[in-house]
Amino acid sequence: MTFAKQKVLITGGALRIGKAIAERLAAEGAHICIHYNRSYQAAVELQEQLIETGTEAHVAEANLMTETACEELVERAIALMGGVDILINNASVFNKQTLDEADMDCWLGEMWPNFFAPVQLMRAFAAQDRPGQVVNLLDRRVTTLDTACVPYLISKKALTDVTLLAARHYAPRIRVNGVAPGAVLPPPGKDDSYIKEFAGPVPLELQVTPEDIARTVQFVLEQKTLTGQIIHVDGGQHLL
């Protein structure tokens, strides 16, 4: 597969993993639409960086907490680029709440950006009635029962299942796959020692980087017979 002039919408594309994916696909010739919610400055800086390298790049703001907002984001990306060939559902929210701690606001605060929004974005993307691809960013925890972050975990488990369902539903026109990262970057204000202390054991004893995730996303997109697959990029943590 060539990425030349492929039109890519990346949610949460201004920072961290989303930024790495945008840079990787832009380097391969793709046109990029960077979605942001609160990271306007970072989105514009990345847009300018990509344009300087000869890439067509756009930014689009959306708070992905309603069906209308999701539909309008896809419509905006289509208007900016003349269509969307690839949807990367990367934006997510992570908070730690146990089953007893999580009230309904907590549940909806995680389920909307992590599950409902990707579902609505896939539906709007598929409504273009053109061939395409979707990659959903998941989490290595989807194979576990992590009791420390229950709403987050359930939202990502649900997205894992709908990734497989969508792969079957939208075939052969659209391929849908998932990439499940392990601990990649520390939270804002923390350094790499935070990951070593709190991320748990890693069988390969290697730190996963945003570039590792971006290369895996590229690999998934390039494999024309790959659909309904979940690839863990976590140094083997999902095995524990």
54-97 tens-digit pLDDT: 999 999 999 999 999 999 999 999 999 999 999 999 999 999 99
What is the mean pLDDT of the segment spanning 179-186? Answer: 87
Apex CA 39: angle with CA 91 and CA 36, to 5°? 45
Q: Phi first, then psi: give them for residue 236, nearest 5 degrees.
A: 95, 10
Whole-number Cα distances in Å, 34 to 31, 67, 89, 145, 232: 10, 19, 11, 33, 24
- pLDDT of 207 reads 87
Question: Is 184's pLDDT higher than 90?
Answer: no
Q: Which of 55, 137, 152 is nearest to 106 (CA)?
A: 152
User: How much is the pTM?
Assistant: 0.95
Q: Which of 115, 135, 109, 234 is nearest to 181 (CA)?
A: 234
Mapped onto helix, strand or coil, the DSSP state of residue 8 is strand
| pLDDT confidence bin for 232, thresholds 50/70/90 | very high
CB atoms closer than 10 angstroms to residue 97? 17
- pLDDT of 161 reads 98
- Tokens coding 204: 């390969």
Q: Phi first, then psi: give them for residue 24, nearest 5 degrees.
A: -65, -50
Fold of 7-182+210-231: Rossmann fold (3.40.50)
- pLDDT of 196 reads 62
| pLDDT confidence bin for 130, thresholds 50/70/90 | very high
Q: Which of 20-24, 101-105, 188-192, 211-215 has the lowest mean pLDDT?
A: 188-192
- Tokens coding 18: 């989303």
Bridge partners (DSSP) of residue 115 are none
Question: Is 239's pLDDT higher than 60?
Answer: yes
Euclidean distance between the first and the last CA atom of the chain, given in angstroms as a whole number = 35
- pLDDT of 114 reads 98
CA dihedral 112, 16, 200, 217 (to 10 degrees): 80
What residue has token string 């369902």? 165
- Structural domain boundaries in the chain: 7-182+210-231
